[in-house]
Chain A
Amino acid sequence: MRRFILIAVPYLWLVALFLIPFVIVLKISLSDVALARPPYFPQLDLSAGWEGLTSFFSALDFENFWFLTTDDLYWKAYLSSLQIALTSTVMTLLVGYPIAYAMARAAPEWRPTLLMLVILPFWTSFLIRVYAWMGILSNEGLLNQFLLWLGVINEPLTILNTNIAVYIGIVYTYLPFMILPIYSALERMDDSLLEAAEDLGCSRLSAFWLVTVPLSKNGIIAGCFLVFIPTIGEFVIPSLLGGSGTLMIGKVLWEEFFSNRDWPVASAVAVILLLILVIPIILFQRNEQKQREAEG
């Protein structure tokens, strides 16, 4: 009985917070747009009994999914989201790994403080931090003023409202998610392993490649997924920092939903996005499981 309850808790959680919303969205995606409130048809009318149920199900179709294939805006947005997510994941890794490495190498009494500093940005609202970046990156922003003052440039660089600003925003926002798992993998590593590698003829650099990197592999994979998965559907950063040329599926979704008020198409976009995300999520789960098995 106790075991049953223990298993039931996460499943209830999953059903309430994932499965039920998903079924609702799926249902909307199979409906047709209507000038009503809520703005789609059919509505499930349980008072009509069996007849109501059959007429409800017969009105559902895959029309909206078909529509997504007719306009190349959608698959371009998916592709561009994937590309932006991949690129920014790699960039976050390149920035995050050295930081995590330095933290793990720091004197033990410093580590809690450094960890705090990494988490500190979460204490302010995400939106405020993104707005702050607008202040930094705009043509009259702090960065341009600084560079002009230094004399490195003669006229302001256009960074805001380009993909570069989006990358900066994503790397900045998701950096802690990359640093923390890598740090925890590196911190657990025994220093004598590096000594053993050197003793057996490795230079410092090859000891890093042959020992440190493989031993932090799981941290790297976890960090990459933690950045990649939310970045694909990212909406706030591209719409605030990106320009009209920044095509991301989160933005498309938002426009369908609020500007066009086409809930069914928006839902279809969301369902496809979810299917795309399921693949890396499953891979991520696999990795976690393998890691657990390896640690026995």
Chain B
Amino acid sequence: MTQHVFAPWNDPGEKPLIQFRNVTKRFGDFTAIDDLTQDIYEKEFFALLGPSGCGKTTMMRMLAGFERPSSGQIFIAGQDMARIPPNKRAVNMMFQSYALFPHLSVWDNIAFGLKREGKDKDIIAARVEEMLRLTRLTKFAKRKPHQISGGQRQRVALARSLAKAPKLLLLDEPLGALDKKLRQDTQFELMDIQEKTGTTFVIVTHDQEEAMTVASRVAVMDEGRIIQVATPAQIYEAPNSVYVADFIGDVNIISGRAKPTGDKVVTQWAEGQPDIIGTTTTEFDPGQEIHFAIRPEKVAISTEEPQDAANKLQGKVLDIAYLGNISTYHVELPTGHVIKAQTANTRRLSRRQITWEDPVWISFTDTAGVLLER
């Protein structure tokens, strides 16, 4: 039996659940979403990542039916959504502002959607209890929203949107107000729910770690456009632009001019410094401006000259950031560039051999970094 990899986006026979087709959304003369085309598949956990104001909530609101695209079309399950009001969509949204009903208790807030379906009382009660247990709110069921904490409110909003077990669930920063432990627990709960119910999730988050943990694919947005969509690993290891590389995780960027040599590309980046050798599948023109991006954990640091490294540079330790499990060394090169190198702290602090102002070597292999055009 072969391990089944979940990647419907690679399967041309698969029908997407959500299709954005050239969707543009303007508010007055401000373009919030700019000619966006994107497919999202059933059972996906699709994460939207991007700086504040880039249009994440606007995308969600168009899916939920609160905003109409200025142009373009949105399809859900093959159906054009243009004329479908929010209450007729099998979509539930968790609002960034929670939007809990202040006049209803926690219990009634969660039951609100179920009651509208005209379900049996016992079924509703059972479902609400289940949701309360899931979000650990059982104790607060009788309270009103203003009588509970911010994190608890967020969980009520989550429970309310989950209660109807919709086909598509939109979560706008669902876990931002939770502490780290509870957030991780809830992330796993969400993944669990997703696996059990087969619900498709679109989630907005500011927390990259969260996006990396839960998402099947991550979309990095900027100014109303999606810059890259890929699995968390691809986004991290093979960003398509400096913007994405810089947005996700920590990165060193060295800009220079390309000099293709066989299957390798050499980056000429500073007078008197050895060129940086990298590998790529993209074709670069000689002399073209390129950016070499490398993650700090892929840069090794040593006091002695490394022997068999493809790239090695000499510098001086400027700063050390101790983060417990890892340390980040800021190494200043003679050119003024500062390169970050990360090492795992396998030894105790007192045994550390590199300190401030030490002359050091940094090195990396020719496959450790990526070469980017923009």
Mark A residues whose CB is within 8 Å of B. 190, 192-193, 195-203, 206, 210-211, 214-215, 217, 294-296
Contacts and interface: CB of A to CB of B under 8 A. Distances in A.
14 contacts: A190-B97, A193-B99, A195-B86, A195-B99, A196-B93, A196-B99, A197-B112, A199-B64, A199-B91, A200-B116, A201-B113, A215-B102, A215-B103, A296-B146
Given A201-B116, A211-B101, A215-B103, A196 B87 contact: no
Contacts of A203: 87
B74 to A, nearest CB: 16
Contact of B112 (A200, A215, A295): A200
Residue of A201, A210, A211, A296 contacting most chain B CB atoms (<10 Å) = A201
Contacts of A199: 64-66, 86-87, 91-93
Interface of B: 64-66, 85-87, 91-93, 95, 97, 99-103, 112-113, 116-117, 144, 146-147, 160, 164
Contacts of A190: 97, 99
A200 B119 CA distance: 14
Residue of B65, B93, B116, B164 contacting most chain A CB atoms (<10 Å) = B116
Contacts of A206: 116
Contact of B66 (A195, A202, A295): A195
B131 to A, nearest CB: 13
A200 B103 contact: no
Given A195-B99, A203-B87, A217-B103, 17 more contacts: A195-B95, A196-B93, A196-B99, A198-B86, A198-B87, A199-B65, A199-B86, A199-B91, A200-B112, A200-B164, A201-B87, A202-B87, A206-B116, A214-B103, A215-B102, A294-B144, A296-B146
Contacts of A195: 64, 66, 86, 95, 99
Nearest to A211: B101
Nearest to B92: A199
A128 B144 CA distance: 49
Residue of A190, A196, A197 contacting most chain B CB atoms (<10 Å) = A196
Contact of A200 (B65, B144, B160): B160
Contacts of A295: 146
Contacts of A193: 99, 101-102
Contact of B97 (A192, A197, A217): A192
B17 to A, nearest CB: 18
A247 B91 CA distance: 59
Contact of A192 (B92, B99, B144): B99
A196 to B, nearest CB: 4
Contacts of B87: 198-203
A198 B99 contact: no
Contacts of B86: 195, 198-199
Contacts of B116: 200-202, 206
Q: Which 5 A-B pairs have the closest CB atoms?
A: A200-B113, A201-B116, A196-B99, A192-B99, A198-B86
Contact of A198 (B85, B103, B164): B85
Contacts of A202: 87, 116
Contacts of A198: 65, 85-87
Nearest to A207: B87
Nearest to B113: A200
Nearest to A217: B103
Contact of B101 (A196, A201, A294, A296): A196
Contacts of B112: 197, 200, 210
A197 B102 CA distance: 12
B168 to A, nearest CB: 12
A79 B289 CA distance: 92
A209 to B, nearest CB: 12
A201 B64 CA distance: 12
A199 B113 CA distance: 8
Nearest to A200: B113
B95 A196 contact: yes
A190 B85 CA distance: 20
A217 B102 CA distance: 12
Contacts of B99: 190, 192-193, 195-196
